Structure 1
Amino acid sequence: MPRNRAITLLSVGHACVDVYQGAVAALVPFFVAERAYSYAAVSGIVLAASVLSSVAQPVFGVLTDRWAMPWLLPLSTVLGGVGIALSGVSGSYGLTLAFVAVSGVGVAAYHPESARVARLASGGSHSAMGWFSLGGNLGFATAPLMVSAVVATGGLRLTPLLAVPALVGSVLCLPVLRELERRRSRGSSTAAVGRDDKASFVKLSLAVVCRSIVFIGLSTFVSLYAQQRMDGSGAAGTAALFVLYIGGAVGSVLGGSLAGRWDRVTVSRWSYLVSVASVAGVVFVPGPALYVFVALTSVALYVPFSLQVTLGQDYLPTRVGTASGITLGLTVSIGGLASPLIGRVADATSLRTALAPLILMPALSWLLFRSLPEPAVPQPREAAHRKDDDSDAALAPARPGDH
């Protein structure tokens, strides 16, 4: 199977999973309107999708470093869809939390193994991993449109229709898994050599946590905030959430392009600096200009996204699954833990007051990236042996343009 075809299938499958992460925030206005949930209550729903995912993703990452579990891809995709599909069926708040949590576990199980499979299918290409990440961003962007199209027409009782992408995604990954199994049976080696840089990985993880807090905070409340700013228009809220998500697709492609000219750390650092100004614009600039700053924020926050995934894998070359579980999962999910606090502040004061502290988060990410090195890119083990057992040469760092 050509590499481009394999990555395309995995990217579309990634979109079919991450649509359920975006669906949680997209369902928030409907829970408020149909069930009269408070800001704190809907924040708890976002928390339910995040907390189990936060705990589970590193566990799945460790497991995939020990054993290959490709069957997780179709199973976790279906699980993520079923949880969201059932979230609107019962009017019980407890059952809604439980179903959303089930979806979060499915998403948690998917990401570490899918990142490992994508790395194998791509041959370690950073640009290919960028396209894989793009699929997830498109899934996020599609979520508010999909949820609005389904739920706005018939209410929350129609959420079972939201299971369709899960069924599609579970089928699309199967040809890639069969191809990788054929490679394994032929004895093809894709293992990499390199040394773990744990200190840099910790700094990277903290930077991703800060990014996650601001992005999930905005994705949870930007729809309601736009409705307030645009005189209560539900369409205005859906449009703001769509802009926030679609900007991620633009940012991912732009990030891969910029990393071909400059190194990944430099590109990420400047992107976070731009994010400080753009988030401030979202919170404080009045009128329709809100959409401009939402778009700029989304692009700036997503330029480093796929770069951080490959950075994490290169900082921990001997534990790619663990690195993927943390950078794609744990650090992203942890952002949901801040949502209840934002909701409580919003209930006590206003949404603008609650969202203002988010301006500090990309500034902290920028500070952390200032001390990060561009890591050496691990080479396949078989390539290292061809260098006359010269281990120093085998671990030589790649030039920035080489990714």
Structure 2
Amino acid sequence: MLSAGHACVDVYQGAVAALVPFLVAERAYTYAAASGIVLAASLLSSVAQPLFGAVTDRWALPWLLPVSTLLGGLGIALSGLTDSYPLTLALAAVSGIGIAAYHPESARVARIAAGGSHTAMGWFSLGGNLGFAAAPLLVAAVVAAGGLRLTPLLALPALAGSVLYLPVLRALGTSARPAGGGASRVGRDDVASFARLSLAVAFRSVVFVGLSTFIALYVPARTGGGTAAGTAALSVLYLGGAVGTVLGGGLADRWDRVTVVRASYLVSVAAVAGIVFVPGPVVYLFAALTSVGLYVPFSLQVTLAQDYLPGRVGTAGGVTLGLTVSAGGLAGPLIGAVADATTLQTALAILIAMPALSWLLFRTLREPAGPRPRRREEDDDVPVR
């Protein structure tokens, strides 16, 4: 239920960008105005997440899960009903606040429900990845049929997600949860390691956002195909992320997380280089390897951050899921500027260094002490309290 609810929320992370073509077509927004709406949602969400994380470190707020899900959907659902640009901007910001409020608390609750299992956390993260990838299809199906006036239908995932969380709240037994967000203090906070981890996540975000933005433009030139070739490459990039998220949890249950993340970043270096320099259809293979390599660390970095800051797991989740991700969005225009000044291949070649830098940072990290995963037989006897 947590994974499905995560999908229902992250639909709205992808929905804002998916609405841009319709806003431009129906309201004659300039590209700058349309990108301002995307920025209002994404940047506000990324910056606000650590603040919500700090709040959940002091108080357990699992009721935020259904409430923030509804808030995230409400902003998008109402955005098509007004011609006012400032109001549309404000509604996008409301959705961003809902998403920001959701992620730190959901990461904490998911860690409790997972009982320390990295595989379980991988499935939780997979839900968000699938929701994000489904957003363009959902928006196109709704808005293309009847225009922006049908955006209230986009509230349906939020309604479904909020209902899914009601039995989750009952299972948690929230009334017995202590102050401090229920954090399990397994040691002292390792701020230095957390800072290095956060920087590695930021570098990862730069390469993924850069490829997501430009791979659909780059691949047709490398393969001799048309627009469909670029769209197919973008789809491979997203689908590989779903595979990598689940794979990362399974690998970390066999080996330690730091070792798995190091190896995945090394794979990513070679894979990104393949996208940039190898011509022909094999670029799709490199796109898949890149996505898997970048998403194997996804959920593992969240739990590592929580274990580096065992007394502030909400803050840890907020930074790794929110603030560091905004680094990729901020770097996007810089990559575009380099491409305008030189070539797109030159701009994308810079991205090869990003997973290499993440690997170097992980070379300085050690596996922290974390919660012991529950054995299967314990799951039948011990309720999640």
Equivalent residue for 2:12, pick from 9, 17, 20: 20
Contact 2:244 2:291 in 1 (8 A): yes
Counterpart amino acid of residue 167 in structure 1: L
Alpha carbons 2:115, 2:371 under 8 Å: kept: no
Q: Distance in 1 between matches of 2:324 and 2:226?
A: 33
Structure 1 residue 272 corresponds to structure 2 residue 265: yes
How big is the shift at 1:74? 1.1
Q: Could you tell me how far apart the structure 2 residues matched to 1:91 and 1:284 are?
A: 45
CA shift, 1:104, in A, is 1.8
Judge which range, 303-312 or 83-92, deviates more. 83-92
Could you say if the C-alpha distance between residues 190 and 360 of structure 1 is closer, same or farther in structure 2, counting changes exceeding 3 Å? closer
Query: Which residue identity does 2:160 align to in structure 1?
Result: V
The match for 2:211 is: 218
Q: Which amino acid aligns with 2:169?
A: L
Q: Is the 8 A contact 2:70 2:162 kept in 1?
A: yes
SS of the residue corresponding to residue 193 of structure 1 reads coil
Shift of 1:294: 2.4
Alignment correspondent of 2:97: 105
Judging changes above 3 Å, is the alpha-carbon distance between structure 1 residues 30 and 368 closer, same or farther for their aligned structure 2 residues? farther
**Which amino acid in structure 2 is aligned with residue 315 of structure 1?**
Y
User: Is contact 1:194–1:378 with CA below 8 Å preserved after alignment?
Assistant: no
Residues 98 and 294 of structure 1: CA distance in aligned 2, closer, same or farther (over 3 Å): farther
CA distance in 2 between partners of 1:287 and 1:31 (Å): 35
Does residue 359 of the first structure (1) align with residue 349 of the second (2)?
no
| Contact 1:276 1:362 (C-alpha < 8 Å) held by counterparts | yes
TM-score by length of structure 1 reads 0.81
Q: Does 44-53 or 73-82 show the bigger shift? A: 44-53
Change in Cα spacing, 1:148 to 1:267, as seen in structure 2 (3 Å) is same
Among all aligned residue pairs of Structure 1 and Structure 2, give the percentage whose two residues are the same amino acid. Answer: 76
2:245 corresponding residue in structure 1 = 252
Instruction: Give the conservation status (yes or no) of the 8 Å contact 2:183–2:313.
Output: no
Equivalent residue for 2:285?
292
Is contact 2:57–2:183 with CA below 8 Å preserved after alignment?
A: no
Instruction: Find out whether 1:196 has 2:223 as its counterpart.
Output: no
Change in Cα spacing, 1:301 to 1:350, as seen in structure 2 (3 Å) is same
Can you list the C-alpha shifts for 1:146-180, whole angstroms capped at 9, x where unaligned? 23333444455543332221111111111111221
Tell me if 1:161 matches 2:153: yes
Provide the rounded CA distance (Å) in 2 between the counterparts of 1:231 and 1:151: 29
**More off after superposition, 45-54 vs 126-135:** 45-54
CA apart distance, 1:303 = 0.2
Aligned length: 370
Look up the match of 1:307.
300
The amino acid that maps onto 2:208 is: F
Secondary structure of residue in 1 paired with 2:324: helix
Distance in 1 between residues matched to 2:185 and 2:289, nearest whole Å: 37
Moved more, 88-97 or 11-20: 88-97
Correspondence for 2:64: 72
Q: TM-score, normalised by structure 2?
A: 0.84
Residue identity in the other structure for 2:191:
K
Q: Does 1:325 align with 2:300?
A: no
1:253: Cα distance to partner?
1.2
- Structure 1 residues 173 and 129, CA gap change in structure 2 (3 angstroms): same
**2:369 matched residue in structure 1:** 376
* Distance verdict in 2 for CA 1:136–1:93, change over 3 Å: same
Task: Determine if contact 2:186/2:369 at 8 Å carries over to the other structure.
Answer: no
What's the offset of the Cα at 1:50? 2.5
Q: CA deviation at 1:236?
A: 4.6
User: C-alpha separation between the residues in 2 aligned to 1:59 and 1:355?
Assistant: 33
Secondary structure of 1:173's counterpart equals helix
Shift of 1:352: 4.2
- From 175, 184, 192, the equivalent of 2:176 is 184
Equivalent residue number for residue 83 of structure 1: 75
The aligned counterpart of 1:397 is none
Measure the CA separation in 1 of the matches of 2:343 and 2:229.
Answer: 19
- SS of the residue aligned with 1:260? helix
Note the C-alpha offset of 1:275: 1.2
User: Which residue in the other structure is 1:145 paired with?
Assistant: 137
Shift of 1:143: 2.1
1:198 Cα deviation after fit: 0.9
Deviation at 1:70, TM superposition (A): 1.5
Which ranges in structure 2 are unaligned for 5 or more consecutive residues?
A: 374-385
* 1:94 Cα deviation from its structure 2 partner: 4.8
Distance 1:205 1:296, change over 3 A: same
State the superposition RMSD in angstroms: 3.1
Report if aligned partners of 1:217, 1:355 keep a CA contact under 8 Å in 2.
Answer: yes
CA distance in 1, matches of 2:233, 2:27: 22
